[in-house]
Structure 1
Amino acid sequence: MKRRFSVRMKVGAVVLVGMLILSGLIFYASYRSVSRLLDQVTSQRIEASLTSGYELLDKQFRGMWIEHGDTDLMKGFIVVNDQLVSDIGDAVDAVVAVYRGEALSVSGFDAGADGADLGVTTLPDDVVSAIYDQGQEVYVQNIVIAGEPYKAAYQPIKNSRGDVIGVWSVAASQAAVRQGLNGALAQIGWISGIGLVLTIGALLLALQRMVIAPVIFLVRRIEAMAAGDFSVDLNYKFGNDEIGALGSLMVRLRDDVGAIVGRVAEAAKGLYDSSYQLSETMQQTESAIEDEANLASQFAITVEAMDKNTDQMATASAEISRMAAEGDASIVGAVEQTNALRDIIEGLADSVEGLGTRSKEIGRIVDVIRDIASQTDLLALNAAIEAARAGEYGRGFAVVADEVRQLAEQSADAAKDITQLVAEIQEETAEAVKSMNQGAAGAARSVEVVQESGVRMRKILEAVNGITAQIQEVSSGIGQIASGSQQMAATTEEQSASIREVALSAQKLTEMAQELEALVGRIKLA
């Protein structure tokens, strides 16, 4: 069986490997950095030793460099020997060597001037290239002498003409430097190891609290939910990160699945009830289909009777259409007569209104007569007064004035009677005009009613014509229904077979609903 590793072990392994790799990279970078720094320091130091040793020799022995014999060199009048370079080497704390051309001339090594045991009897090729070919004044490199690392510096030895006749070399052992470097690296290793252990512990503790513990919590809850228990408690103080978002999603998942399962349970129960009712309904439908087969034959007989009735309806609708056409013609004549009557009434109304206008003019004339009678009566009174003043001479004038006054009074009485008659005539004329206007309005309404009746009669005529056409279509359709009723019986038998299959499917659906209800019942909700 394949071994199962926990999240804690996997995370710890990843952290450990990552920290080891990181520590290795840091240690390597530190080693490289310290090595470069020490190399720079030793290079500067060996260059300083090279310069100071050469200056010391130049102060002690003035003069130019001269080739002497086959292998030696002279400085001024002194042949440079092993003891001389050893003393200068002690002074600058380094090993001094002098080369003539490319071969070793003298050396401060204890192994002997020939240098055979040291492996430095000739200049390295890169030194020859740098000093003789490229003309560099100082060249520094790492070399190995007697199995030990050395830092060596070289500068050319020139004669009076400026020709390079040899090389002045100073070398310093790197054993102490390497030892110091190894010690420093050991300290860095110890410090890095302790820091690594502490860092790994802190990371594991932080991961335990922020990642591993919440993940284990969620895994256990998911296992419970996978087993069907959706009542698990998901109350946990998650952080504001992806794991916290996962926890929130788990809460939503639990609630949503719980709600869905609840609805599925209700749906399963409803499905069971519906399937049971469907099964019973199919049984009832099967018996109803048999009844429909019996009704189909009766329907064919009824269709034949309907075919005969439609023929009679077609004849009756044609007669109704003819009568509707005659009624439409009568309505048109009635409209014309009503319009003529309305015109006559409107003419009478105009005449009566003219009579009322004339009576108003008579009234104005009577008012004038009344005014004249009043003035005449006043004049008769003035004449009587003047006749009385005249005495005997005015008696005849008084008689005439009295007659005139009586005529004025009679005229006033007559004007009063005429005024009363004119008022009565105006009142009756107004009533007559009002009656005429009402008659004209009634005639207009009669015209509208008759016209509406004509419109309705035309609609009736159109409807009757449409009904006639529809009856003809119905008559044609009934023939098709008669042939279709024969097919209905065959179709009814096919439906009966289909209903039996549906009833069987409904029974299976009931069994499936029971199984679904049992499965849903296994899920535990809060």
Structure 2
Amino acid sequence: MPAIKMTIKKKLLVSLVLSAVIPALLVSFLIRGESYSLVESRLMDSEFPAVLTSITSDIESEISPLFSAAEQLAENPYVQGILSEPDQLSEGDEQILISILSAIAGQYDLSDVSAINKQTGHYWNQNGFLRVMQPERDKWFFKFRNDVEQSKINIYSSAEKNEHRIYVNYKTLSESGLVTGLSRSLEDMIERINGFRLEQTGFVYLVDAEGVVQVHNQGKQIVGRQLDDLYQSGISSQLLSQSGFGYAETHFDGQNYIVAAEYIPLMDWYVIAQVPKSEIFESLNQAFAKVIWIVVAIVVVSIGLALVIANSINKPLQQVTKVFLDIGEGDGDLTYRIDLADRQDELTDLSRGFNSFVSKIQQAVLEIIETGEALNAASLALMDKAGLASERNQEQNQQTIEMAMAIDQLGITITENASNASLASTSAEDVNNSSANAKMIVGTAKSTINQLAEEIGNTSGIIHNVAANTDNVGSILEVIRSISEQTNLLALNAAIEAARAGEHGRGFAVVADEVRTLASRVADSINQIQQMISQLQQGAQDAVDAMALSTENTHQGVKASDDAASTLDSISDAISNITNMNMLVATATEEQQNVVQTLSSNIEAIKGINTLSTESAKELELSCNELHQISTRLKTLAASFKA
């Protein structure tokens, strides 16, 4: 939030005014709110109920005597005796009855007093006998006579004639008793009701139990309308509860109204009061307006007092400000001082503190001038020494670079030697491994050849056995050939005997012929087997000869393998010696290489240190130059003050 740009005087003035106005306004509005609540509470809890109760009591005070009079008339034994036999009523008794009725009418200012025989329906008033009640014409009489209620009140209202009349009826409980009736005009009471005022424009009127307006100061325009039509839907249920006092708040014609109701038990009607809410609080609003004017007066007085206080504070501040401006915008004269007034307040302390502060600044500026001159001389001397150090560092750096290059070249040569030695060692080791592998292969071959010679011997024995077995087979074949020849001979003899037998030996001849054929085939097969066995015997002999030759070759291979293994052992020993020598050379070369690398790293570190020293010398030279410029600037700034 941006700061409000105001002078101290204005801020002080605003603060003092607000500190007086805001509490006054808050208190005023709080009092106004509480006053509204108290007035509304008092109005709804006491004043309105009291006013409506008074009006209700006034109405009932006019109606209740009518009930007493109707009851006294109906219960009067003399009147009951006169009307007990209306057909035999004498003229004197009738005159007495009329005089009684007239007296009651005059006493209570009634417009009509009547007495009716409950059983026969004969009807008299203060003017004399009128008629006999008929069910078609006088339904109210027969209804009331048969009702449980002993008394009843009816209100007759005519909006066209603007006439209102009250009727009070009373009946005795006996079958032959009386029904009495009294009526009076309500115009006086209605005139009092219409003339009643609440606040300025508030008024009261009467409605029946259904909420229909019966009496209103605007007459025909309002009489006969429902409360819900006059105000708002549902207001009847809030007001007409027969529980005494009730009220509601409504809005019409552009303003708020308070509408209250009080029940009139004798009439079964309600007194309705309507008052604009603004009129109820008008006196309170006037009082609040006075309070506002008082607050305005307080504000004006507060502004005046605030101006006086602000000026008393602001004037010394302006003096301090003027001195500051003279020092800041003038020639920097630190000899200015504020005149101390003969008073004891915070502004005097501020002025005294300011004078002390300026004195210290003056002393500090004098010391700064002296220090600046010394700093300037020291910076010039330091700048010269820094330049010389920078030159020497550059020479040392160049020599270090040349040494580093030579060591790098030596390192490269040693690295190549180490690499070659390592390569030779690796090659010798590979040859040694190869000779070892060859020795293992020769050993394996020797074993294989020995095993092969053994297997060849075994195979030769097997072949000899096969040849022997083939000879045995040949002997067996000779036996089989002999059997075959004898079978053939027997078959021939059988055929001859069958031929001799003629027809009986034909079947036997066929069998003999088949046997002879089979014997011939067996002889052929034996010949073929004999031929194959001969070939097998020849092959076995050839295999035996070949096995003997292989055995001789195998013995020669074993001898050659032994010679090769001995030669490989010699080669392996020579290669091991070469490998050991190469490993010694490689180890020595690697140690030289490590020494050269360490030396190179140290030279590089020295080179880096020399570079940093050179850069630091240059930076020191630049810093000395800046320090010289700062000291010159400090001297100039100090010279701008007049100390």
TM-score range, shorter chain: 0.3 to 0.5
Rg comparison, structure with higher value: 2
| Relative contact order, higher structure (CA 8 A, sep 6+) | 1
Compute the TM-score of the two structures, normalised by the length of structure 1.
0.45
Higher helix share: 1
